[in-house]
Amino acid sequence: MQKKIQNALISVSDKSDLKKILYFLKKYKIRLISSGGTFKEIKKLGYDCTEVAKYTKFNEMLDGRVKTLHPKIHAGILNNRSNKKHQLQMRKNKFKNIDLLIVNFYPFQETVLNKKNSNYIVENIDIGGPAMVRAAAKNFKDVLVITDKNDYNSFINQLKQNKGSTDLKFRKNMASKAFGFTAHYDSLVSNWFDDELGIDFPDRKTITGKKIAQLRYGENPHQKGSIYIHGFDDKELGLKKISGKNLSYNNYNDIFAGLEILISLKSTGTVIVKHANPSGVSINKSPIKSFQDSLSCDPVSAFGGIVACNYLINKKIAKEISKTFFEVILAKKFDKDALKIFQSRKNLILVDISKYRERSNYQIKYFNNSFLVQERNKKTFDLKKLKFVTNLKPSKQELKFAEFAMNTCKFVKSNSIVISNKFSTIGIGAGQPSRVDSCKIAVEKAKRFQKKKLRNSIAASDAFFPFPDGIKKLIQAGVKLIIQPGGSIRDKKSIALANKAKIKMVFTGTRHFYH
C-alpha cells in the first residue's frame, strides 16, 4: 500500500548528502521537523523547518537527553492510520502524523575507537534516536524510516515513482534495515559494557557484523556466502588486496588459518597453508630461507596454497616464490620490483597485511541453534612446568626448537604431530582420529621430502600418546627429542621406550586440541 508523506522528522549526525534529499522533500511538499545541528544545517541550506521544541511545545532539557521522547512525536510515528480509535485520539490531542524519519545515531562507535573516557562514551549512547527509529520501523505499514544515507537515492526514486508516496515493500525493507541497525548498535554498547566490566561470557552474547562483501559463493559453488566485519573498528580487516581477483570464501578461510600461525611466530617466518592446515612453517633470520624451508616441508601440497610472510617481499624473494604456483601471497608490503615480477600472474592475489592485528580474544563456533565461545589458545607451555622425563635432557637451544614445533602443532587440526628440524617443519601429520596415524603421516612426509633432516629431528604432539606405538614410529624415523603434554596411563612405557632409544622427551602438561 502506498503512503503519502506529509511530515518528516530529520535528525542526523552525518549531515552529508542532506542537500540532495531536502530538494525532493520540498518538491513533494513534505514539512520538516528537526532540532539541534540538523535544524541549523537545514536552515543554512535554505529550507523551512520546525524545531522539535516548538513542535512539541516542550523545551528540550538535560543537554538534549530529552527532546524527542515526547508523546506528540511518538504518537505521530506510532499511530495506526487505519485504526479509527487511534485517529480519534490523535485528533483529540491535536497530534499530527510523522510519516518519515531520517535518523543516524550519535557516533558511539567512533567515540569508543577514539578511546575517550568512560563517562564520555556513556554520554554518547543515543537514547532518543533508537526510540524513534524502533517506533517508525515497527509502524512500517504507515511510516518510512531511513537510517543509512546509502538509501537516499532509492528513497528519492520512490518519491519520484510514486509522486511523493512510498510503497509497502520499500518501507518494510527499510524497517528491517533499521532493526538491523538498532541491534548492531546495542550489541556494540553491550559488548563495550562487558569489556568494561571484564565479563567474558555474559548471559546474553550478541555478535554483530557489517557486511563487507557478498562472496562469489561459499565453501562450494552451490552455497551462497558473505563476509562480515565485526567490532568497533569496522572500517577494514587489515587485509589490503593489492592485486588479483576477489578473495573467495576458501581464500579467506586459508588466510585466517595462515594469519593465526604467522602472528604466533616470534621472528621472521613463513607459513604455507592448504585446506586450512599448514603444509610448512619456518622461521629464519633470512626471510628467503624461511620461505624455502617452509616450502620444502611439502612442496607437493603447497601447490595452489597460500603463503603468509611476516616480512617485506623484495625482488629476490618474489623471484623465488614465483617458481611455485600459489593462489594468495600475504606479506608486510611488497616492493616495486616484487610487484613487477608478480604482475604477469593475473590471478595471483597479493595482500598487504601490514595493518593486520589481533582484535579478538575469543573463538566462536556456530552450529544449528547454538554457538560455543572460548578464549583463544595463546599459550604454548609454561617453561617452569616442563617435566624432563627421560635420562637425557634437552639443551636450552633444543628447547627453543621444541617450542617452535609445539607452537606449530597447536595450529594443526587434531590429532596433530609436527616433526621439525631446528626452526623448520619437515613433516606434518594432521587431522587423524588416531594419534599413531598422525605420526605415520608426519614421518612419511618427512621421509619423502626431507629424509636427511629426519636425523636429529624433533617431534611435537598436541596431546599425550595413549600408547607407545606413535613414539616408536617417531624414534624409528630418527626423531631425537619428543615434546608432548604427557598424562597417559601408559606414559611409563613411552618413557622406557625413549630411554632405551637414548632420545629425549619433555612433558609440558599443556594440551593443544584444535578442531
Q: How far is the CB of 30 from a second copy (least distance, A)?
A: 23
Per rule CB under 8 A, is residue 154 in the interface with a second copy? no
The DSSP letter of residue 413 is: P
| 420-426-431 Cα angle (round to 5) | 90
How long a stretch of residues is the chain? Answer: 515
- CA 425, 415, 491, 497: dihedral to nearest 10 degrees? -50
How far apart CA 97 and CA 74 sit, in angstroms, is 9
Picking from 38, 146, 141, the residue whose alpha carbon sits closest to that of residue 81 is 141
Give the residue with the Cβ less far from a second copy, 388 or 513: 513
Q: Which stretch binds a second copy (CB under 8 A): 8-16, 36-44, 301-309, 498-506?
A: 301-309
For a second copy, the closer of residues 140 and 401 by Cβ is 140
Active site residue 74: no
Could you give the string, one character per residue 410-449, with x where binding to a second copy holds by CB under 8 A and - elsewhere?
A: ---xxx--------------xxxxx--x---x--------
Question: Which residues, 344 to 363, sit near a second copy by CB under 8 A?
Answer: 358-360, 362-363
Q: Which of 32, 135, 328, 419 contacts a second copy by CB under 8 A?
A: 135
Q: Closest approach of Cβ 83 to a second copy, in Å?
A: 8
Q: How many CB atoms lie within 10 A of CB 138?
A: 15
Q: Candidates 25-33, 174-182, 317-325, 470-478 — which segment interacts with a second copy by CB under 8 A?
A: 174-182
- Where on the phi/psi map is residue 64: left (φ > 0), alpha (ψ -120 to 50), or beta? left
In the set 26, 184, 205, 275, the catalytic residue is: 275
Of 148 and 335, the one with the shorter C-beta distance to a second copy is: 148
Q: What does the alpha-carbon distance between residue 127 and residue 68 come to, in Å, rounded to a whole number?
A: 10
Would you list the DSSP string of 274-290? ETTEEEEEEE-SSHHHH
284 binds a second copy (CB under 8 A): no
- Residue closer to a second copy, measured from CB, 410 or 504: 410
Residue 70 bears catalytic tag: no
Q: How far apart are CA 351 and CA 328, in angstroms?
A: 7
Closest CA to 320 of 342, 300, 298, 302: 342
Q: Which stretch binds a second copy (CB under 8 A): 9-17, 186-194, 281-289, 329-337?
A: 186-194
In the set 26, 43, 96, 138, the catalytic residue is 138
Can residue 205 be called a binding residue for a second copy (CB under 8 A)? yes
114 contacts a second copy (rule: CB under 8 A): no
Size of the site for a second copy (CB under 8 A): 136
